[in-house]
């Protein structure tokens, strides 16, 4: 450890030291951002999981279902129905976008073209010559000057299919992914509920506190 410090203090030039410090700061910042996004996703999934309580509340309160296994599978069935209700719109968007791309490929014979490529959906963005802007910097090959513009944004008649397919698939895909996340959250909540609701534990039981109660007969469903 002392050798590393000596190397850092005596041998390494000032610029290299600054570069290492900046790189470490960027790494810590990146980790913090990922952690914050993860916390946000956890919070959202917790809120989404609360819907699972409403799905199985009545059958538990009225005593229609009294076993852990039956509660979990009943909950999964209800969860699948709810997922279908929530996800049919984004699925429809993705389906329609895919149909339009299919029609585009049939009419323009564009089967081998990448709809996300520079000559398709990429025509509406700026394109820069990054390779020409690179140079050597302290032994590293990095961008050292402002790149030249290769193409300006424009619409191309040969890429009309991608203009509909790419936004549709992105919107529908992200929306569907959020519904999938909600499905996972509700499944996990149902699993925890089924374990907790019918869990017979004596951890908090104190015979001196509670009055004597009659033992309940075993439910024949559980056998």
Partner 1 sequence: MKLFLKTLGYGALYIVLSPAIAAILVFYFIYCIGIFLFQAIRNTIVFFSGGTVGGDLAPDVEAKKILLQKQRDKLEEKPEPAPQPQQNIYVFNGAVPQNGFPNPQSQNMQRPQLDQQTPFGIEQQTQKQIAEPQKEVPSEEVVEEAPKQNDMSFDDALMQALGIKSKRPDMSDESPKESHSMPKFNENDFDDITVSSEEDDDE
Residues that bind partner 1 (CB under 8 A): 28, 30-36, 38-39, 58-59, 61-65, 74, 77-78, 80-81, 83-85, 87-88, 91, 176-177, 179-180, 183-184
Q: How far is the CB of 28 from partner 1 (least distance, A)?
A: 7
> Of 44 and 143, which has the nearer Cβ to partner 1?
44
> Of 65 and 166, which has the nearer Cβ to partner 1?
65
83 Cα distance to chain centroid: 16
Nearest-angstrom CA–CA distance, 122 and 202: 64
The 3-class secondary structure across 12-79, one letter per residue, is CCHHHHHHHHHHHHHHHHHHHHHHHHHHHHHHHHHHHHCHHHHHHHHHHHCCCCCCHHHHHHHHHHHH
Helix (H, G, I), strand (E, B) or coil at 134: strand
Q: How far is the CB of 60 from partner 1 (least distance, A)?
A: 9
Nearest-angstrom CA–CA distance, 51 and 183: 10
**For residue 176, what are the contacts with CB-CB under 8 A and spacing of at least 6?**
87, 90, 91, 94
Q: How far is the CB of 36 from partner 1 (least distance, A)?
A: 6
Q: How far is the CB of 196 from partner 1 (least distance, A)?
A: 19
Nearest-angstrom CA–CA distance, 71 and 195: 10
> Of 55 and 110, which has the nearer Cβ to partner 1?
55
CB distance 147 to 132 below 8 Å: yes
> Of 85 and 195, which has the nearer Cβ to partner 1?
85
> Of 59 and 143, which has the nearer Cβ to partner 1?
59
Q: How far is the CB of 105 from partner 1 (least distance, A)?
A: 22
Compute how many other C-beta atoms are within 10 angstroms of the C-beta atom of residue 58: 10
> Of 126 and 192, which has the nearer Cβ to partner 1?
192
Q: How far is the CB of 88 from partner 1 (least distance, A)?
A: 8
């Amino acid at each position: 450890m002392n050798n590393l410090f000596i190397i850092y203090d005596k041998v390494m030039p000032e610029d290299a030291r600054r570069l290492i410090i900046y790189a470490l700061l960027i790494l810590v910042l990146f980790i913090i951002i990922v952690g914050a996004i993860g916390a946000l996703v956890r919070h959202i999934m917790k809120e989404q999981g609360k819907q699972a309580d409403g799905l199985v509340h009545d059958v538990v309160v009225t005593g229609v279902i009294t076993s852990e296994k039956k509660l979990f599978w009943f909950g999964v069935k209800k969860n699948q129905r709810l997922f279908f209700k929530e996800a049919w719109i984004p699925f429809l968007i993705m389906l329609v976008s895919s149909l339009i791309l299919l029609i585009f490929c049939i009419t323009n014979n564009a089967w081998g073209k990448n709809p996300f490529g520079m000559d398709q959906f990429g025509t509406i963005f700026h394109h820069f010559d990054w390779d020409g802007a690179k140079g050597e910097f302290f032994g590293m090959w990095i961008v050292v000057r402002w790149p030249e513009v290769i193409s300006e944004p424009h619409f191309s008649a040969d890429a009309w299919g991608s203009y509909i397919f790419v936004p549709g698939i992105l919107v529908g895909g992200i929306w569907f992914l959020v519904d999938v996340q909600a499905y996972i959250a509700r499944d996990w909540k149902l699993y925890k509920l089924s374990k907790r609701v019918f869990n017979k534990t004596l951890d908090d039981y104190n015979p001196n506190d509670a009055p004597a109660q009659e033992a309940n007969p075993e439910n024949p469903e559980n056998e």
